[in-house]
């Protein structure tokens, strides 16, 4: 059995928090059922192609721009485009608002990994997760991402001071999670 691997205390930094949430969102999208994502893209593409074909046909027949058809097909496509373009900015604002409104985000936190699971302690909160509650743990260049059914947590690698200690954390994760530990 491995010895407890207690991680040093660290404080949330706003730019790092944004990068972590963006990475968590990307990882969640990667886990999402790909067929549904592909079907949404295919249906949106078909809608756009049908709209272009109808507008082009009416334009060729009447030699005038069919404004009504442009409204029917163009406005929804434009709205989707604007949503996709502004989504990163909206996420940045939401992260900033979360950091400003939630005092627990400014607290130092301590992660402890041992035979019982993952424990996260702050000044006003305490989270205990046993190994069975962790669905997957993924390692990125900057973070360790811990996913459960209802929430996700991140640990910046900067909190793990020495490479030998990072190797110990990886070994512990592989020992207790097996294939659910996607670490290098």
Residue 55, both tokens: 């507008």
Lowest pLDDT segment from 23-27, 37-41, 72-76: 37-41
Which percentage of the chain shows pLDDT scores above 70? Answer: 92
Complete domains list, the chain, with CATH: 5-12+104-182 (2.30.29), 29-101 (no CATH)
Q: What is the pTM of this model?
A: 0.66
Mean of all residue pLDDT scores within the chain = 84
pLDDT tens, position by position, 57-115? 988 999 888 888 878 888 888 888 898 888 888 888 888 888 788 777 778 888 888 88
Residue 164, both tokens: 């030998």
Residue 3 has pLDDT above 80, yes or no: no
Contact between 20 and 156 under an 8 Å Cβ cutoff? The reply is: yes
Q: How far is CA 167 from the centre of its chain?
A: 24
């Amino acid at each position: 059995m491995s010895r407890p691997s207690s991680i040093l205390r660290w404080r949330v930094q706003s730019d790092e928090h944004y990068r972590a949430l963006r990475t968590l969102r990307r990882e969640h999208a990667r886990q999402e059922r790909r067929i549904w994502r592909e079907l949404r893209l295919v249906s949106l593409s078909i809608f756009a192609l049908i709209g272009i074909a109808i507008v082009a046909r009416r334009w060729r027949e009447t030699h005038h721009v069919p404004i009504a058809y442009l409204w029917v097909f163009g406005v929804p496509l434009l709205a989707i485009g604007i949503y996709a373009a502004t989504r990163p900015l909206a996420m940045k604002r939401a992260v900033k608002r979360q950091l400003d409104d939630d005092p627990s985000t400014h607290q130092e936190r301590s992660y402890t990994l041992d035979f019982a699971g993952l424990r996260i302690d702050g000044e006003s909160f305490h989270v205990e997760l046993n190994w069975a509650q962790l669905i997957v743990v993924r390692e990125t260049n900057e973070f360790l991402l811990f996913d459960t059914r209802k929430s996700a947590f991140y640990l910046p690698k900067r909190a793990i001071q020495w490479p030998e200690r990072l190797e110990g954390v990886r070994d512990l994760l592989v020992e207790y999670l097996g294939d659910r530990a996607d670490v290098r």
